[in-house]
Each structure stands twice: as structure tokens, then as C-alpha cells.
Amino acid sequence: MSSRQFVIQYVPGTRYFQRLNGQTKIIFFVVGLIVMMSTFDLRVLIPAFLFYFIVLLSVKPNWKQLKGILIFMTLMNLLNIVLFFIVNPRIGNDMTQTTTVLFQFNDFYVFTEETLIYFLARILKIFGTLLISLWLITSITPSELASGLYRCKVPYKICTVVSLGFRYMPDILREFRMIKESMQMRGVELNKKKTGLIQRIKQNGMILVPLVLVSFDKVETVASAMDLRGYGQRKKRTYYSDAPAASDDYLIRGVSLVLLIGMIGYFVLSIQGKVPHLWIP
């Protein structure tokens, strides 16, 4: 059992957007989130969505692995939107204070252009965020994440939590399976169909409790091993996996900076009321 079944990969990728260093990836990711989060304006969302879609495509993610997730996310969000519409069909109009009715069912259920645009923007935002996250997850290794966070001035003890966490996750998963097997060998029946809910909770407890106890028992040994190699005594530390920034890194950081400045500009304009909350063509 190994980390290979995780979506995050422990082996560094080879494509352009995977070869950047950890800090650059984090910056690019955070700026991407800011862009996607701070507006409902389709003029911004559509190009941004396309841009990040291309970025994600360029790293050739393992679509087979992501398929289930994407289907699930799509269904969830479509369902959400239907629910939104049922609860408040004028949600878009509330933002623009205008009403352009496209279609009318009855007095309450109207289908307006504003709401349509609103839903479109919302979908773009959610899937845009998902694209950026998926790019990060399929492009950053845990080592780069830890050293990149440190470069971004996150205290190193938190960076250690990140790298140690990723270090032990495959182990924990393997232990989880082992304990399950061990309990089954001792006579626990773990058949989903044959048992009731209470019974199932009990049985899961029988696996869960040892897993948790065994894992936390390890804390002492791991901490000893770290102390014995001088962890936590200095204010600073360096990272083996911390690759120096190359010209591509500066390029992408530059792009991110431009995006960020653009978004700030947009934000200032929208505070001054020069761009509408929800842009209608």
C-alpha cells in the first residue's frame, strides 16, 4: 500500500507548471484563489477560468483518478443551484436591482437574465477554484509544500507539521488496513450488508480505537528521534528540498503580481461603484 493512490503525488512532475519551486506554486495558487473569489464579473471570470483550465490541462493530470470527484462536484453544484432557484428565483436580481424576465412560471418562479448570469458566475467561480486547487494538488509535492510555506514566512514548526503529516499518511493508511485485517482474523465480521447501524458503529470503533492509540503511541518515539537530531533548538532552519528560484519562477511570480495588481485595481473600482456588482451584458 503506498502513497501512489493519493491524488497528491510524492514524485515531482516534469511539466512546466510542475517544475516551479514550492514558493512560486503557493503564490500562484493564492493569487488564483483571490481572483476567483473576489468577483462575480463574467468579464474577469471567463478569461481567468480558461487560463487556469489551460494550466491544469498542461500538467496532464490523471483524469481517471479525478473523474469520480469531478462528476460528484458537478452533480452537487447543479443540485445546489436548483435548490437556490427553488428558494429564491430572484437571487440575481437582488444583486443588480434590475429585472429582465426571460421566462415566467408563475408569480414567484420567474426566470430572469440576472439570475442566469449569477448562476453562471457562481459555477465558474466554484469550478475555477476547483481547477486551481487541482492544479496545486497534482503539481506540488509535500516537500515543496513544506519548504515553500517556510519561504512564505510560515513558522517552521507548522511546516514540519505539514511535511511530517504527509510522511505518515501512507503509513497510517497501511496500518488502518492491517488492524482491520487483524480484527477480522480474531473474529470480527465486517460485512456491510449483514449488520445493523449500531453494530457497524461498534465494529468501526474496534478498528478506529486501536488505530488512533497506535498512532499516538508513535508520537513519543518520533519526537525522540527528532530531538536526537537537534530539532527545534534554533529560530531558523533550512530545507533540503528548497530549490532556488529559476527564471521561470520569476516569470510566474511576475504574472501573479500583475494579476494581483489587476484585481486590486478592479476592487478599488468596484468600491467606488464604477463597476457593477454583477455585470450584465
Partner 1 sequence: MVSFQDFSFQYKSQQTETLKHINLEIYEGEKVLILGPSGSGKSTLGYCINGLIPNQYPGTIQGSCTVKGKDIRTTRIFDLSKIVGSVLQDSDAQFVGLNVAEDIAFALENQAVPREEMKNRVHEAARIVNLTEFLNAFPSDLSGGQKQRVSVAGVLHGAIDLLLFDEPLASLDPHMGEVMIELIDTLNKAHHKTVVMIEHRLEDVLHRDVDRVILMDKGEIIFNGTADGLIVSGLLIKHGIREPLYISAIRQFFRGLSQTEHLTSLKTIDLAELKKAPLKIHGFKPIDAQKKPLIELHGIKFSYDAPLIDIDLLTISRGEKISIIGENGAGKTTLARLLTGVIRPQEGRILLEGQDTSVLSIREIAQQIGYVMQNPNQMLVKSFLLEEVSVALELNGFSKDEIEQKAGDALRLAGIYTMRNWPIQALSYGQRKRLTIAVVLALNPSVLILDEPTAGQDYAHYRDIMSFVDNLNRSNGTTILFITHDLHLALEYTERSIVLVGGKVVADQPTLEVLQDKDLLAKASLKETSIFELAALLEVDVNAFVHQFIIHEKEQKDE
Partner 2 sequence: MSEVKHEKETFKSIFLKWVIGRWSTATVVGVAIGAALFGVLMNYGGITIFTNTKLSTAYIIPVIVGGLFGAGPALLVGFLGNVFADFIGGWGYWFDWSIGNGIASFFIGLLPLYGARIQEGIFTVKQAVIFAIVSVLGLALAFGVVTPIFTLLIQGGELTITYAQAYAAVASNAAVIIIVGIPLLFIIASRNKRKQNLVEE
Ligand X SMILES: Nc1ncnc2c1ncn2[C@@H]1O[C@H](COP(=O)(O)OP(=O)(O)OP(=O)(O)O)[C@@H](O)[C@H]1O
CB 249 within 8 A of CB 20: yes
Q: CA-based Rg of the chain, rounded to a whole angstrom?
A: 24
- Amino acid in the structure at residue 7: V
Shortest approach of ligand X to residue 220 CB, angstroms?
8
Shortest approach of partner 2 to residue 258 CB, angstroms?
23
Angstrom distance (rounded) from CA 91 to CA 108: 12
Choice from 2, 14, 191, 233 touching ligand X (CB under 6 A): 2
Q: Binding pattern to partner 1, positions 236-275, x when CB under 8 A? A: xxxxxxx-x-------------------------------
Angstrom distance (rounded) from CA 141 to CA 119: 34
Joined grid coordinates for residue 68: 469520480
DSSP state of 52: H
Q: Binding pattern to partner 1, positions 27-66, x when CB under 8 A? A: ----------------------------------------
CB 56 within 8 A of CB 70: no
The residue (of 105 and 240) whose beta carbon lies closer to partner 1 is: 240
Shortest approach of partner 1 to residue 179 CB, angstroms?
6
Shortest approach of partner 1 to residue 249 CB, angstroms?
15
Shortest approach of partner 1 to residue 175 CB, angstroms?
6
Chain centre distance of CA 67: 16
Shortest approach of partner 1 to residue 219 CB, angstroms?
9
Binding span for partner 1 by CB under 8 A among 20-28, 53-61, 106-114, 172-180? 172-180
* 4 lies in the site for partner 2, by CB under 8 A: no
Joined grid coordinates for residue 113: 437574465
* 1 lies in the site for partner 1, by CB under 8 A: yes
- Amino acid in the structure at residue 90: R
Pick what 244 binds: ligand X, partner 1, partner 2, none; C-beta below 5 to 8 Å, kind-dependent.
Answer: partner 1
Pick what 229 binds: partner 1, ligand X, partner 2, none; C-beta below 5 to 8 Å, kind-dependent.
Answer: partner 1
Shortest approach of ligand X to residue 12 CB, angstroms?
21
How big is the site for partner 1, counted in residues (CB under 8 A)? 59
**Contacts made by residues 40-44, CB under 8 angstroms, sequence distance 24+:** 40/95, 40/118, 40/121, 40/122, 40/125, 40/277, 40/278, 40/279, 41/121, 41/266, 41/275, 41/278, 41/279, 42/117, 42/120, 42/121, 42/124, 42/279, 42/281, 43/279, 44/266
* 225 lies in the site for ligand X, by CB under 6 A: no
Q: Binding pattern to partner 2, positions 238-277, x when CB under 8 A? A: ----------------------------------------
